[in-house]
Each structure stands twice: as C-alpha cells, then as structure tokens.
C-alpha cells in the first residue's frame, strides 16, 4: 500500500481548502445575516444553543477519525466493506438520535434556565438540528476515508449554501427569529444528508462485505483516544461561549458571540488541511512510509493562515466588526483579538493532535486534558466579565500549545527499548 506522494498531498489540500473554506464563507454569511437580524441578546442565545449542539454531536464525530483511519487502510473489496460500516453505523445513529432528543427534552427546562433563554421550544429545534448533523458527519467521513475530497467539499458547500437560503427565508422574510435560525440549520443539514447519499450511491448499491472481528476490535480501541481528543477540542472551542452566556449579562454574551464567531476563523480556516493530513498519515504509517513531510507542510500552512487572520483582526478588527455586524457590536473588538490568538494556537496544536492520532501516539492527550481543566477551573473563579473569560481561554490554549509542541519534539527522537 503506497502512501500519497507529496505533490498529490498538496493538490488535495488545495482542493479541500478552496471548497471547504467556500463553505465556511457561506457559514459566516449565515451568521452575519443572523447577527444583523437579531438583537445582541437573541444572537447570543442562538450561538449558545449552537455551541450546545456542537457538544452534543461530539461523541459521534469520533467516527471522523475511526472510519477515516480504517477506510484508508482497506486495499481489497473496499466498497463492500464500507457499505457494511455504513449500514451498521446508520442503525446505531438512529438509536442515538432518538436518545439525544429524549434526554434533551427531559433536561430542556434545566437548559432553558442555565442559558437564560426564553422558551424550551428552542431546545427542541436545536436537538433536531443536532440529530441531522450526526448523519452528515458520518457521510462526510466516508468521503474523507475514501479520499473523495471533491465530493466532500461539494457536500459541505451545498449544505452551507442551503443554510444561507433557508435563513433568508425563515429569519429575514418570515421574521421567525431564533426559531427560524434553528429551523434553517435543520433543513439545510437534512438537504446535505440527502445529497451526500446520492454522491455515495455506488457504496449504497454495492453488496455488503465481511468485516473481521479484528477490524471491529481495532476500531473500538482507536475510538477511545479519538473520543477523548475530539471531546476536549470541542470543549476548548465551544465552552467559553456557553460559560459567558451563563455568567455574564445578555448584552456581553452577544458581544462575545460576535468575537467568537469571527475569532474562530483563525481555527476553522486552516482546519480543512486536516481532512487530507489524517488519512494520508494513516496510510503512510500503515505502509511503513515516511510521513514527517505531511506534518511540516500542514504546520507551516496552518501557522501562516492563522497568523494572517490574527494580524488582520489586530489591525482592523474594530472596522470589520462595525462593517459586518454594525456599530451596536463595537464592544466586541477587544475580545476579538484575544479569541483569535487563542484559536490560532489551538489550530496549530490541532495539526499535531491529528498527526499523532494517525500514528497512534496518544501521550499528547495529557496536555490537552490539562488545558481543559485549567480553563474550567479558572472560569469558575474568574468570570467577572466576558473579556476576563477570553483571557482565560487564551491562557489555557497557550498551555496546550506549549505542552503539545514539547511532546511532539520528545516523540521525534528515537525511543530506546529498555534492556531485558
């Protein structure tokens, strides 16, 4: 099994970068439409619900790593084995989606009080959107593992375009407010799922193949560190907006949501590179090929992209906020710079996380876990303002960044075996 040549690796990165960041641009248009259509208080409520949705769907996104790593290593009867994985996954996901909605409804009153939102109906709409999102994640993961990067980008872009169209209908034209925004997410994601099934029709039409018990055992073992990594990264990129909504006044939560939505560009802009990095390193590792060039290319591109985003916000962040959201959100500018710096550090760390996971090197999880505990502990004591929570986020991501870099340097040296 041959690893992906560097030329093809760079080409695939370019394709994925263009398509997924086009989808990302549409997602930001979606956010801008909401920000201009809702008050800061309601905009903060919407994004706190969106953050909860991201945390709910985190357990299923382990499939992103597990399936991608497994599918990348299949050399024979690929369609048949992938069909078996999809069939078993969809049955499990249907059960999971039902449980998510049920548990969410049972805890709806508590969530309503914790987030200080107006109606439990919003919780229900959020749960429906989260359920569709799980199905979309599985289908995108299959495209990634089979290295169908163009199809992956088209599915993601189509879903993002649908978001914009539905939010224009439900929020701008029909004036349905937060409910309209959440309905737009549900309709857009379900549309993306339908299109993804059509894109993968060759897989769905193939016969199911046999998977050995060792295959499931291998996936089960890999799923545990995958779950830990994805959960902790999701916490670091979402929990701040939830905590601000809980501890701070509604207007501050709205300003912080604005800073977070823009500041996350430093994290999400280069994140598309990981779509190519992970299966490429997994395949290279399985074949015994050298893979460090994949790491250095991805680290270099991520550092440049995140650095440029941070510098832009540092220099003209205030003007961007006023232009995009309006003068009513100008108080978000100081927090935007802090959040962008934190997300840039997390993006660079995330490259190393993915590289280590593809090589089954999991010691970095200790540093990621330490950063999460530091974040939650400090916010518990220091939450007088949204800006203070932003500083805590930066300190925590800097801790993760330094620990991850040192861990990668240590792993790069040959490890001697202890004498018998």
CA distances from 312 to 130, 255, 258 (A): 33, 19, 16
How many of the other CB atoms lie within 10 Å of CB of 232? 21
| pLDDT for 2 beyond 60 | no
Residue 181 has pLDDT above 70, yes or no: yes
Instruction: Report the chain's mean pLDDT, rounded to a whole number.
Output: 84
Q: What is the pLDDT of residues 332-351, one digit of tens each?
A: 888 899 999 999 999 999 99
Residue-level pLDDT at 61: 67
Query: Residue 417 above 60 pLDDT?
Result: no
Indicate if the pLDDT at residue 135 is higher than 50: yes
Whether the pLDDT of residue 184 is over 90: the answer is yes
How do residues 347-399 score in pLDDT, each as one tens digit?
A: 999 999 988 888 888 888 999 999 899 988 998 887 778 888 889 999 999 99
How is residue 383 written in tokens?
A: 């939450």
Residue 419 pLDDT class (50, 70, 90 cuts): very low
Instruction: Round to whole Å and give the CA distance between 365 and 368.
Output: 5
Q: Cα-Cα-Cα-Cα dihedral of 374, 380, 384, 390, to 10°?
A: 30
- Cα–Cα distance between 172 and 156 in angstroms, integer? 23
Number of neighbouring beta carbons within 10 Å of residue 397: 26
Is a pLDDT exceeding 50 seen at residue 119? Answer: yes
Is the CB of residue 241 less than 8 Å from the CB of residue 375?
Answer: no
The count of C-alpha atoms lying within 13 angstroms of the C-alpha of 387, restricted to the half-sphere facing its C-beta, is 6
Contact 393, 338 (CB under 8 A): yes
E strands, 219-324, are: none
The per-residue pLDDT for 409 is 86
pLDDT value, residue 420: 42
The helix/strand count (H/E) of the chain reads as: 17, 0
- pLDDT beyond 70 at 310: yes
d(CA 233, CA 243): 16
**Secondary structure of 323-377 as H, E, C letters:** HHCCHHHHHHHHHHHHHHHHHHHHHHHHHHHHHHHHCCCCCCHHHHHHHHHHHHH
């Amino acid at each position: 099994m041959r690893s992906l040549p560097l030329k093809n690796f760079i080409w695939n990165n370019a394709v994925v970068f263009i398509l997924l960041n086009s989808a990302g641009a549409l997602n930001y248009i979606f956010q801008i439409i909401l920000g201009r259509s809702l008050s800061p208080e309601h905009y903060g409520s919407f994004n706190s619900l969106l953050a909860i949705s991201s945390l709910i769907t985190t357990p299923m996104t382990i499939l992103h790593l597990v399936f991608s790593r497994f599918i990348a290593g299949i050399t024979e009867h690929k369609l048949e084995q992938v069909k078996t994985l999809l069939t078993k996954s969809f049955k499990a996901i249907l059960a999971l989606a039902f449980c998510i909605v049920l548990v969410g409804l049972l805890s709806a009153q508590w969530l309503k009080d914790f987030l200080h939102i107006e109606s439990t109906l919003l919780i229900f709409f959020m749960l429906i959107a989260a359920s569709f999102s799980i199905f979309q994640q599985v289908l995108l993961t299959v495209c990634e593992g089979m290295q169908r990067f163009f199809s992956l980008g088209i599915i993601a872009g189509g879903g993002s375009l649908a978001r914009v169209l539905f939010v224009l209908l439900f929020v701008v034209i029909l004036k349905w407010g937060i409910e309209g925004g959440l309905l737009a997410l549900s309709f857009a994601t379900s549309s993306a799922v339908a299109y993804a099934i059509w894109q993968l029709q060759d897989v769905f039409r193939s016969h199911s193949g046999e998977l050995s018990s060792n295959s499931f055992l291998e996936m089960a073992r890999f799923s545990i560190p995958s779950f830990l990594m994805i959960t902790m990264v999701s916490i670091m990129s979402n929990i701040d907006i939830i905590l601000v909504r809980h501890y701070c006044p509604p207007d501050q939560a709205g300003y912080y949501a604005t800073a977070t939505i823009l500041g996350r560009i430093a994290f999400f802009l280069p994140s598309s590179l990981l779509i190519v990095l992970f299966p490429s390193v997994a395949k290279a590792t399985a074949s015994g090929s050298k893979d460090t060039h994949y790491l250095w290319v991805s680290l270099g591109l991520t550092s440049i992209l995140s650095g440029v985003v941070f510098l832009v916000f540092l220099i003209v962040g205030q003007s961007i906020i006023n232009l995009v959201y309006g003068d009513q959100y100008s108080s978000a500018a100081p927090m935007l710079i802090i959040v962008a710096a934190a997300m840039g550090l997390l993006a660079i760390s995330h490259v190393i996380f993915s590289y280590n996971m593809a090589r089954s090197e999991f010691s970095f999880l200790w540093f990621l876990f330490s950063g999460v505990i530091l974040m939650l502990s400090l916010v518990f004591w220091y939450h007088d303002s949204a800006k203070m929570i932003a500083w805590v986020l930066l300190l925590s991501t800097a801790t993760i960044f330094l620990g991850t870099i040192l861990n990668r340097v240590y792993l790069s040296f040959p490890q001697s075996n202890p004498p018998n």
